[in-house]
Amino acid sequence: LDVTLSPNPSLTFRTIGGILDFYLFMGPTPENVVQQYTEAIGRPHMPAYWSLGFQLSRWGYGSLDVLKETVDRMKRYDIPYDVQHFDIDYMERRLDFTYDKVNFAGLPEFMKELKKSGKHNVVILDPFITKDEEPGTYRPYELGQEMGVWVNNSDGVTPAVGQAWPPGDSVFPDYTNPRTVEWWTQLCLEFKDVLDYDGIWIDMNEPSNFMRGQRPGCADNEINNPPYTPRISDRSLAEKTLCPDSKTYLGDHYNTHSLFGWSQTEPTFNVVQQATGKRAFVLSRSTFVGSGKHGGHWLGDNFSQWKDLRRSVVGILEFNLFGIPYIGADICGFNYNTTYELCLRWMQLGSFYPFSRNHNAEGNSEQDPAVFGDAFAKISRATLRIRYSLLPYLYTLFYESHVYGGTVVRSLMHEFTSDQETHGIDTAFLWGPAFMITPVLEEATRSVTVYFPEAQWFDYYTVLPSAWKKNYATVSAPLNKIPLFIRGGYILPQQAPATTTTESRLNPFGLIIALDEQGQASGSLFWDDGDSIDTIEKENYFLAKYTFSKVS
């Protein structure tokens, strides 16, 4: 199947068969459509408060020493930072459920130290398991073999064998099989006793395979080579994955391929809650309709290029439409080496992604916000402190999304639908109805053109009302500043920032009251302990509604 969107507006569905069910969500507003859609597919999960803090990651620390140096310099510059991610280089030879006891000797103790300092840890796990270790030495494979948890070849009996990160050949767990869920749950619970994780990042779960189909190649039949193939990599359904005629518990891989990451997300969410006794953090590369109920997403392996910085705004807006509001892009870019200015502008924009994480690929130069020197660190710190001060507002938006199913980040069109000018704007975005972020998206640029829809707008920094209404204005944006605006008529809860949310949650609260032309404003604050399971369902929270009106 492929679906083509045209500006007419029109949709063209091109398919070789199957049953097409159409659901129409009538709105009438864009925000209503998203609420109705998530009512059908499942509301977004309520994230833990700590997961709204800034996060650091790198594939290629290579050793615990390098990671420790990174953590130390973040501390030296006092840059807000809540979560450390561990990519595949923490593993022994890239084997799931292990850690490298040479290069990462002392990792379990270090993770406990990070937790003591108020931070949280997220470990990566891949969905392929090597079958070629010495017998009796690699339990994840042997237990899986015993329990019969793999995706099978077309015979439905022998496991599909491909190649991925671990040495030798790999087999692929079939998460649509309840036995696989048991196997995965057991291994994740046991691993918690080895590395004290707070969340799990599930990667490569398309599923990714470094071959075209499994060994010895895909049979020439109608499922593997259908009469029409959409314009995908090499026009092959098996490219970098498994043959479509492979068998999963629910049927042919041809029918279940798109469900692989989705079917891994819920069991991972459940086991993280079981293992930690707290709200789950799950980050998945592969998503499908309804994934937002149990996980968040990042926009995949982007590049350190200005066009990818710009595109990320579109990506975070889209995933909010899909009911996956916990979304962000790799800040500063994943592939290629970043540059000082690109990374600085990306730190500024990324400070306002719902999921804010700087991540980098193996072989690239370091790009954490503390590595570029004083000036860069100071600007990153200042921008992240704005994020941290507004976390009570962001957290309240996630509460509203979880309960009513709307967006957290939205386009101007969602709030000003009748204003045609807003329909094409994908370079600025809003947190909820009231906070506009207008990032610099081009190199060597020191101003941005901002469209101000019909409302009273206040400059976040000066708190002065802007003179602009329903027109464009050029706004100054020196290197140390990302332009931010507050919409009149709204009350935003805030809290004094700190270096972690563990500390900031203890600080005094405040309110930003931005009046509309009638001298009125309203807003709300949702607050709970930040990481207990089902506080909303158990009604174990505080919810305040604020209103203000000027007495003339």
- Choose among 456, 450, 454, 468: nearest CA to 419: 454
User: Where exactly are the structural domains of the chain?
Assistant: 49-127+176-207+254-391, 399-549
pLDDT tens for 112-135 read: 999 999 999 999 999 999 999 999
Task: Read off the pLDDT band of 19 (50, 70, 90).
Answer: confident
Residue 233 confidence (pLDDT)? 85
Residue 525 confidence (pLDDT)? 99
Cα torsion through 128, 102, 89, 242, rounded to 10:
-20
pLDDT tens for 316-346 read: 999 999 999 999 999 999 999 999 999 999 9
Residue 189 confidence (pLDDT)? 98
Neighbouring residues of 493: CB distance < 8 A, sequence distance ≥ 6: 392, 393, 396, 509, 510, 511, 523, 524, 525, 546
pLDDT tens for 215-227 read: 999 999 999 999 9
Residue 528 confidence (pLDDT)? 98
Mean pLDDT of the chain: 97
Looking at per-residue pLDDT, the higher value among 536 and 230 belongs to 536
Side-chain half-sphere CA neighbours of 521 within 13 A: 24
The CATH class, in words, for 49-127+176-207+254-391 is alpha beta
pLDDT of 184 above 80:
yes
Neighbouring residues of 434: CB distance < 8 A, sequence distance ≥ 6: 393, 486, 487, 489, 490, 492, 514, 523
Choose the catalytic residue: 100, 198, 203, 368.
Answer: 203
Q: Identify each DSSP E strand in 153-238 by its residue range.
A: 161-162, 170-171, 199-202
| DSSP code for 177 | S
Q: How far apart are CA 348 and CA 184, in angstroms?
A: 38
Average pLDDT over residues 8-17: 91
Average pLDDT over residues 384-388: 99
Question: Above pLDDT 70, what percent of the chain?
Answer: 100
pLDDT of 552 above 80:
no
Name the residue type at position 244: P
Average pLDDT over residues 35-52: 98
Q: For the domain with range 399-549, which CATH number is right: 2.60.40.1180, 1.10.1740.10, 3.40.190.10, 3.40.462.20? A: 2.60.40.1180
pLDDT of 466 above 90:
no
Is 203 an annotated catalytic residue?
Answer: yes
Question: Above pLDDT 90, what percent of the chain?
Answer: 96
Q: How far apart are CA 510 and CA 496, in angstroms?
A: 8
| DSSP code for 410 | E
Residue 1 confidence (pLDDT)? 85
Least confident window among 80-94, 226-240, 264-278, 446-460: 226-240
Q: How far apart are CA 2 and CA 16, in angstroms?
A: 10
pTM: 0.98
Residue 443 confidence (pLDDT)? 98
Q: Vertex 314, ends 313 and 319: CA angle to 5°?
A: 100
Task: Read off the pLDDT band of 377 (50, 70, 90).
Answer: very high
Cα torsion through 429, 433, 435, 438, rounded to 10:
20
CA torsion sign for 428, 430, 431, 435 is positive
Average pLDDT over residues 293-313: 98
Region class of 95: left (phi > 0), else alpha (psi between -120 and 50), else beta: beta
Residue 74 confidence (pLDDT)? 98
The terminus-to-terminus CA distance of the chain in angstroms comes to: 62
* Cβ proximity of 184 and 271 under 8 Å: yes
The answer to whether the 49-127+176-207+254-391 and 399-549 domains have the same CATH topology is no
Choose the catalytic residue: 69, 78, 169, 206.
Answer: 206
